[in-house]
Structure 1
Amino acid sequence: MLATFAAAPAALAQAYPTKPVTIVVGYPAGGSTDLTGRTLGDALAKQLGVPVVIENLGGAGGAIGAQKVASAAPDGYTLLVGANNEVAISKLVTKTTRYDLKDFTPIGLIASQPMVLVASPSAGVKNLDEFLAKVKAAPGKFSYGSSGVGTALHLAGEMVKERAGLFMTHIPYRGVAPLTTDLVGGNLDYGVFVLSSGLPHIKSGKVVALGTTEAKRSPLTADIPALGEHKALKGIDIGSWFVLMGPARLPDAVVARLKTALAESLKSPDFRKKMEASGSTVAAPGGDIGPFLQAEVAKYQKIVQFAKIEQ
């Protein structure tokens, strides 16, 4: 009898999955989270032996898609590829967000990439020293843009303000395209991009890169300093990351199967090549990401309080 009970989880893990798995992405097709979800979906399909379908369910900064997964049956057939905004920030800034971290089963970190602080060519600054001197000399005169209130890009900008003691106005945009248009056209002084979105404009000279937002320089842009290298911005470390999660109460055997499939996917040369080409650094396989997510929420909570963000 004991042997039978001991074998049950292993049998369940071997049986799962028996039908297609759906990965929900809380954004329209074409963005960094969608690209991550589709790349991972292809890799997981090979590991799990069943089709993996991507469902784009945009709205509310990713929260609508995340809510669907939080409310789904805990059977492993509805998963979320989520990013900072919907996983860790939405609950802090939006009263209507009904889910919390406890409503998910974390499976693993997929990848991350820094954000990058940029200047419009018309701003007349070429580096962090010039940026800090100019903004400090005229408090309230300058503004910076992001892809929306309460997004990771917004919080990165507020972290820069807090660390350096700057007074700048935040301008929220409805996506990267209008933000880029105003920066290139000289209607906006500064902006924050996810590195993969900003890099083409940096390379073309349409915007000036001032610094990336993680603790160390990105290996993809070793010529762009990390903001934390500057004495006025020590300790800045905020990136855009992507995680695989399921609903709360997923069976242990299903979680184990998914963690194994994810780990093998992260080691795949094809997966790594595609993710690195998009500007992401692939995560190390394995490990419990629960503490990481809790630490991220605590970090964002401090920035939200500083910026007095509420929707």
Structure 2
Amino acid sequence: MANLTAGRRAVLLGALAAPSLAYGQTRRPLRLVVPFPPGGGVDSLGRLLAERLAPLLEGQQVLVENRSGGGGLIGADAVAKGPADGTILGIIGAATLCAAPFIQPTMPFDVTKDFRAISQISDSAVVLAVSGKLAQERGWTDMAALLAWVRANPGGVRVGNAGVGTVTHLALSAINSAAGVELTPVPYRGGAQQAVDLLAGTLEGSVDLPAALLPHIQSGAVKAMGVTSGTRLGLMPQVPALAETPGLAGIDIRSWNVILAPAATPEAEVQRLFTAIRRVGQDPSFGQALRPFGYDAVVSESPAAMTAKIAAETPVWRRLVEVSGAARQ
């Protein structure tokens, strides 16, 4: 009799588990769009998120899809025009959402109408660094010394960045405006080539995410002058915030990434995805895994809170665009 009861119990438990298993097996994979090439910080963030999301989505497969170009606009547009059924998300940066609309003559999407915010996933700042060899030769002991040298040698420091409208370009423009100097911006398609040229001495400086420069900073080949956040980063506490330099007290620029879905995504799907993403983001091991890439894990209290943050941050980024001179006419 005991064996019969155990058998019936197994059948019952199997029947209860079947719907969840079938759900994961029959649902199409979730495409997580990364709007930058493989190998960069955002790509690493996306892959770390994807591998942790899948077990929380009842077996739904999560695939990272790189859709680079246009400073993040191409990938964001793919999300805006994707199926609104919980099978596509994008990791989209603050500059794409809050700065690009004031730079681009035309936008392929409407930030306020074409997306459904799910949650913030990361927060970071960028670092301004210079050639370690040149810093030693020219007495660039700190940011104040670098600014003094640039004032005496206009145009003598070229600084690589990711191009007009990106957080690195806007941060560099804000530094120039606040300090009254001209650190000459040089656009690059990717951080890897910036680092190569910086190490080769064909470029004096670079503004990039910490992860791209950290190994070279640690080796001494590159000298970090400061980070754009108002306070120092936990990843590199020895590097001053630029705001510590006289004349740069107002510099506080942080780059965050948000998970977005197409606007018409049903509320049930939004909540399902938000719950899973929040669980990943609050896991200490996820935050620890992000640290080498220069990110802090940050998740929103709700999708509505993330929507409100985008609206609140937009005027701040608009001002950065105006300062940079990149605002559309």
TM-score (norm 2): 0.84
- Give runs of aligned pairs for residues 144-223 of structure 1, distance below 5 A: 144-223=159-238
Whole-Å separation in 1 of the counterparts to 2:311 and 2:151: 34
Instruction: Report deviation, 1:284.
Output: 4.2
* Alpha-carbon RMSD: 2.0
Is 1:81 matched up with 2:98? no
Contact 2:192 / 2:212 at 8 angstroms: preserved in 1?
A: no
Is 1:99 matched up with 2:109? yes
Q: Which residue of 2 aligns with 1:20?
A: 29
User: Could you give the per-residue CA deviations for residues 230-286 of structure 1, whole angstroms, max 9, x where no partner exists?
Assistant: 231112111232211101132222211111111111122332221123221110452
Whole-Å separation in 1 of the counterparts to 2:292 and 2:214: 11
- Give runs of aligned pairs for residues 1-311 of structure 1, distance below 5 A: 18-49=27-58, 50-102=60-112, 103-120=114-131, 121-123=133-135, 124=138, 125-287=140-302, 288-309=305-326
Q: Which residue of 2 aligns with 1:3?
A: none
Change beyond 3 A, Cα 1:291–1:139? farther
Whole-Å separation in 2 of the counterparts to 1:45 and 1:293: 27
SS at match of 1:231: coil
Whole-Å separation in 2 of the counterparts to 1:296 and 1:205: 36
Extract unaligned runs of 5+ from structure 1: 1-14
Contact 1:266 / 1:285 at 8 angstroms: preserved in 2?
A: no
Number of aligned pairs? 297
Instruction: Report deviation, 1:188.
Output: 2.2
SS at match of 2:208: strand
Instruction: Report deviation, 1:81.
Output: 1.2
Letter in 1 for 2:34: V
Instruction: Report deviation, 1:94.
Output: 2.3
Contact 2:163 / 2:188 at 8 angstroms: preserved in 1?
A: yes
Percent of aligned pairs sharing the same letter: 35
Instruction: Report deviation, 1:147.
Output: 2.1
Contact 2:126 / 2:208 at 8 angstroms: preserved in 1?
A: yes
TM-score (norm 1): 0.89
Extract unaligned runs of 5+ from structure 2: 1-22
Change beyond 3 A, Cα 1:141–1:278? closer
Instruction: Report deviation, 1:90.
Output: 2.7
SS at match of 1:135: helix
Q: Which residue of 2 aligns with 1:4?
A: none
Letter in 1 for 2:124: Q
Stretch deviating more after TM superposition (218-227 or 116-125) = 116-125
Runs of 4+ displaced beyond 6 Å = none
Whole-Å separation in 2 of the counterparts to 1:48 and 1:131: 50
Contact 2:95 / 2:317 at 8 angstroms: preserved in 1?
A: no
SS at match of 1:233: coil
